[in-house]
Amino acid sequence: MKGVVQDQARSSRKSIAQRARESAGRSVMLRSFFIAAWAALLFLPFHGIRSALVLFAGIFAGLPVMQSAMRLGGPGEWMQRLPGFRAFTLRSFPFLRTSALPVFLLALFVLPFTLKDYYLDVLVMSGIYMLLALGLNVIVGFTGLLNLGFAAFYAIGAYTYALLNTKFGLGFWPSLPLSAVAATLSGLLLAVPALRLRGDYLAIVTLGFGEILRIVLNNWDSLTNGPNGISGIAPPFLFGISLGSLNFYYYLVLGLVLLSVLIIRRVKSSRVGRAWIAIRENEIAASSVGVNVTRYKLYAFAFGTFWAGIAGALFAAKMRFVSPESFTFMESVFILSMVILGGIGNIYGALAGAFILVLLPEALRDVQMYRMLLLGAGLVLLMIFRPQGILGGRKGVRIRG
């Protein structure tokens, strides 16, 4: 009896900070338990009880460690305490810091000479998705307008080039800006009615637009050849020489991604960019400081869908074939995942997100059956431990419609 009283007294003497730490520790344990149990349950039917238990134990023990490593947005405290850790940060090598970017760019330029075609092909696809993620990031990340139908604008870009080329014989170079313009105009067309809505309602309308467009492409046989798609799209030509090689696409995509990063960076730090961020942060406050909210939301839609049009034309030229199958709702979700994974509102995050989400399924080809499962689990883990995304700076920027 006496012992219990003493025990209570002792626990009430614990500092508030100590108690907060303990309860945080408990919630980590609880969370790890649920995640581990969930993963084990998913594995059970495929691998039997033993591997499910191993997986459970691994996740249950590993998660708290991982969290302490990732919580602070960089190396965890425990890593910094390792002897010599500080000596190995980039900061201690000024030469590396200043030369990192040129070296990186140079590496990008010589890559095609060293890589197998398969890897180059994956890189080209990730470049196309980078353009898409950069475009969607303007709408969702900068302006905070949730768009679940972004693949529609990608489709419009792709079909514009496909149709101009196969029906009118127009080449890639004049078609590229036309594809971008077509996507921009359709973006504006959707934005004018949709921007009267907020939040979930805007998300649903954009989702609906994406589906409607896909269904139209699927059924307008006389124009789009329906589900069979359009084949025989010509690659780009320059002075009568076909540029259909993988190396060429690599450099084209690389150039366009670099160009788009430069342009989007400039726009972000301009008046327009500041207006976008103000709208994302608080719409009423933005209008009370004199931001024309409707106009800048339109700009965001137009500017974001522009890059989707470019990506679409590239995709059509590289594949030489388009069909509605490539532009499903899943595609929109995939692009949105890239933006969220990389860090909403962060330009380099969008690049990283696109790179990782294109590469990861390829890397996981050996475990074919589980790759979507692993990918999904990875995204869930990321949202739990680092909700601001890989490169998201200011923690917890919300998406709002």
Partner 1 sequence: MLKLTSLQASYGPIRAIDGIDLEVNKGEIVCLIGSNGAGKTTTLMAISGILKADAGDIFFEGGRITNLPAHEIVKKGISHVPEGRRIFPKLTVRENLQMGAYTLSSGKRAGTDEEGLIAKVFDLFPILRDRRDQMGGTLSGGEQQMLAVGRALMSGPKLLLLDEPSLGLAPIMVSKIFRTIREINNEGVTILLVEQNAKASLKLSHRGYVIESGAIALQGSGEGLLHNEDIKKAYLGE
Applying CB under 8 A, which residues contact partner 1? 271, 274-275, 277-278, 281-282, 284-293, 394, 397
Distance CA 314, CA 316 (A): 6
In whole angstroms, the minimum distance from the beta carbon of 240 to partner 1 comes to 48
Pairing mode of beta strands 321-322, 237-238: unpaired
Structure-block tokens of residue 175: 């078609």
Instruction: Report in angstroms the alpha-carbon separations of 300 from 54, 71, 188, 277, 335.
Output: 48, 32, 9, 11, 17
Which CB atom, from 201 or from 237, has the smaller least distance to partner 1? 201
Distance CA 195, CA 192 (A): 6
Which CB atom, from 149 or from 389, has the smaller least distance to partner 1? 389
Distance CA 393, CA 349 (A): 10
In whole angstroms, the minimum distance from the beta carbon of 139 to partner 1 comes to 18
Among 266, 272, 333, smallest CA distance to 297 is for: 272
Which CB atom, from 39 or from 278, has the smaller least distance to partner 1? 278
In whole angstroms, the minimum distance from the beta carbon of 278 to partner 1 comes to 5
In whole angstroms, the minimum distance from the beta carbon of 273 to partner 1 comes to 12
- Alpha helices (runs of H) in 226-270, residue ranges in sequence order: 246-268
Which CB atom, from 49 or from 285, has the smaller least distance to partner 1? 285
Which CB atom, from 231 or from 270, has the smaller least distance to partner 1? 270
Residue 30 CB contacts under 8 Å (≥ 6 apart), including other chains: none
Q: Which residues pair with 132 in a beta bridge?
A: none
Which CB atom, from 276 or from 307, has the smaller least distance to partner 1? 276
In whole angstroms, the minimum distance from the beta carbon of 148 to partner 1 comes to 23
Cβ 216 vs Cβ 333: under 8 Å: no
In whole angstroms, the minimum distance from the beta carbon of 290 to partner 1 comes to 3
